[in-house]
């Protein structure tokens, strides 16, 4: 199918957070932009649906958004005028340990440190300068490799962030502090022995101290709907139900931006690329996949430690050693018997997600890329381990293995929700080693997905930077 609208300056293919961000940024600069989406609704990973029972609203992919309120892109657009609201749980993330003790990330730096006992001073020493520098530093952290606007702050961050999470945790003595760091670092979906895994932990911790870990009221779809409404208010056009399989489908435009990963981009436009660029895209590496469960529950999750009931996110993996072993197993193509589980309980703070007296919960674990193994029992055992009686409250469940994740969103190759492995070798050179990672080797064709810096997450900065590259190459439109 071809788009109906043809009089455009730019076409953006894919309406995830980065495709929407690119379209908005160009439209703000006076370009006439057409946004194309293969699915019936916009959003990419930001969608919400009744997956289990009527009245239970589940986030299909993204659920908690630590970076959205820190993102320079999101801070520059008035989405609250289009119905977007956030709620911030009093506890950003809780991490229960066997024996009943829980360590938690609070918005307060000192409150978080207080839970670490003798490691309190070490934690404040690690995080205080980053938290102080955060407003000035976030633009450097969420962007391509370039001369930083805040070089001293970036240097202070890099001294610790470039190390492995294992090495970072070695500076702490308590089980609680080490576990919290491990759970944060494991969001990076790679072994904790890898260099730069400390960066994932430090960024998520700093984001929590800066603005909490917010939950969008009504579900992740609310973010997409507000972005779409703002884009169209600027004059942008959206067409859904159009799967782009070739460049010939697209109307003539100065620039085409793809919110897709290298594998899909090669299928659509590979014949236009130079041999070197094509070779680099073919060598692009994808990371771990995820197995996800959504539950409709007959009441809150009965965590042993009541502190967990005040957290939007709960990390289930016990000690640092346990989490590191789990992630190492997955990186070697194995399935962990006791996987690290990331769990969200949105309806505790957004009651409209479930009928009165009921709750929704969302969880996933990491698995080898392309795995079709059912991890339901392993995940639910991990929840039951810290919340005895949890299974008795399950009314219905909806599961998605890696193949279901990819079918839902073609960018999730083999279940990889980060758009490709984000290790040190592929962090700033994603998707290829080029002066600008957003340009392809073919004039007028750009990539704006999470396969470009700064990578995965709902922050819109991949799309924003790609659009800025287009504007620098072609100039502003007619404002």
335-345: buried (b, 16+ CB within 10 Å) or exposed (e) per residue? bbebbbbbbbb
Residue 264: per-residue pLDDT: 97
**Are 130 and 209 contacting, i.e. CB atoms less than 8 angstroms apart?**
no
Strands (E), 318-437: 341-344, 359-367, 394-400
Choose which CATH entry (1.20.1250.20, 2.40.10.340, 3.90.245.10, 3.50.50.60) describes domain 10-47+219-284+418-474: 3.50.50.60
Kindly state the DSSP code that residue 164 receives in the 8-state scheme.
-
* C-alpha span between 289 and 372 (Å, rounded): 10
Parse the chain into domains and list their residue ranges: 10-47+219-284+418-474, 86-213+288-408
What's residue 478's pLDDT? 62
What secondary structure letter does DSSP report for 156?
H
pLDDT at position 3 is 86
From first to last of the 479 residues of the chain, give the pLDDT tens digit: 888 888 999 999 999 999 999 999 999 999 999 999 999 999 999 999 999 999 999 999 999 999 999 999 999 999 999 999 999 999 999 999 998 799 999 999 999 999 999 999 999 999 999 999 999 999 999 999 888 888 888 999 999 999 999 999 999 999 999 999 999 999 999 999 999 999 999 999 999 999 999 999 999 999 999 999 999 999 999 999 999 999 999 999 999 999 999 999 999 999 999 999 999 999 999 999 999 999 999 999 999 999 999 999 999 999 999 999 999 999 999 999 999 999 999 999 999 999 999 999 999 999 999 999 999 999 999 999 999 999 999 999 999 999 999 999 999 999 999 999 999 999 888 999 999 999 999 999 999 999 999 999 999 999 999 999 999 999 987 64
Helix, strand, coil proportions of the chain in percent (round to 5)?
40, 15, 45
Nearest C-alpha neighbor of 94 from the set 179, 7, 174 = 179
CATH class of 86-213+288-408: alpha beta
State the pLDDT at residue 228: 98
């Amino acid at each position: 199918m071809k788009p109906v609208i043809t009089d455009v300056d730019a076409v953006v293919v894919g309406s995830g957070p980065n495709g929407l961000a690119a379209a908005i940024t160009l439209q703000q600069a006076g370009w006439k932009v057409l946004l194309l989406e293969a699915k019936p609704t916009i959003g990419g990973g930001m969608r919400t649906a009744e997956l289990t029972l009527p009245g239970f609203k589940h986030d299909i992919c993204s659920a908690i958004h630590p970076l959205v309120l820190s993102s320079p892109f999101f801070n520059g657009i008035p989405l609250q005028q289009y119905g977007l609201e956030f709620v911030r749980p009093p506890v950003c993330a809780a991490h229960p340990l066997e024996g009943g003790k829980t360590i938690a990330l609070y918005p307060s730096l000192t409150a978080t440190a207080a839970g670490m006992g003798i490691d309190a001073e070490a934690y404040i020493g690690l995080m205080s300068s980053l938290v102080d520098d955060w407003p000035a530093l976030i633009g450097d952290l969420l962007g391509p490799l370039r001369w930083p606007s805040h070089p001293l702050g970036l240097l202070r961050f890099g001294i610790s962030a470039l190390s492995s999470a294992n090495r970072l945790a070695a500076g702490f003595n308590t089980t609680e502090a080490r576990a919290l760091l491990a759970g944060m670092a494991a969001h990076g979906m790679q072994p904790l022995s890898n260099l730069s895994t400390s960066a994932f932990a430090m960024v998520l911790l700093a984001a929590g101290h800066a603005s909490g870990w917010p939950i969008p009221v009504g579900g992740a779809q609310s973010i997409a709907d507000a972005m779409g409404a703002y884009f169209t208010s600027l004059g942008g056009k959206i067409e859904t139900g159009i799967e782009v399989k070739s460049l010939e489908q697209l109307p003539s435009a100065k620039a085409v931006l793809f919110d897709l990963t290298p594998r899909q981009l090669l299928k659509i436009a590979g014949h236009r690329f130079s041999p070197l660029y094509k070779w680099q895209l073919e060598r692009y590496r994808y990371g771990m996949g995820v197995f996800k469960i959504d539950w409709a529950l007959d009441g809150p999750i009965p965590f042993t430690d009541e502190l967990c009931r005040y957290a939007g996110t709960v990390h289930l993996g016990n000690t640092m050693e346990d989490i590191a072993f789990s992630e190492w197993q997955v990186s070697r193509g194995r399935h962990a018997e006791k996987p690290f589980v990331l769990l969200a309980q949105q309806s505790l703070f957004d009651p409209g997600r479930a009928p009165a007296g009921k709750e929704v919960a969302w969880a996933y674990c990491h698995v080898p890329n392309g795995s079709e193994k059912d991890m339901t029992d392993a995940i639910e055992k991990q929840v039951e381990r810290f919340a005895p009686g949890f299974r008795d409250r399950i009314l219905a469940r909806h599961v998605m293995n890696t193949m279901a994740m990819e079918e839902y969103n073609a960018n999730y190759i083999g279940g990889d929700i980060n758009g490709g492995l984000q290790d040190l070798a592929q962090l700033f050179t994603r998707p290829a080693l080029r002066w600008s990672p957003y340009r392809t080797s073919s004039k007028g064709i750009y990539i704006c997905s999470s396969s470009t810096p700064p990578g995965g997450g709902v922050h819109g900065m991949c799309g924003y930077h790609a659009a800025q590259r287009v504007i620098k190459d072609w100039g502003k439109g007619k404002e």
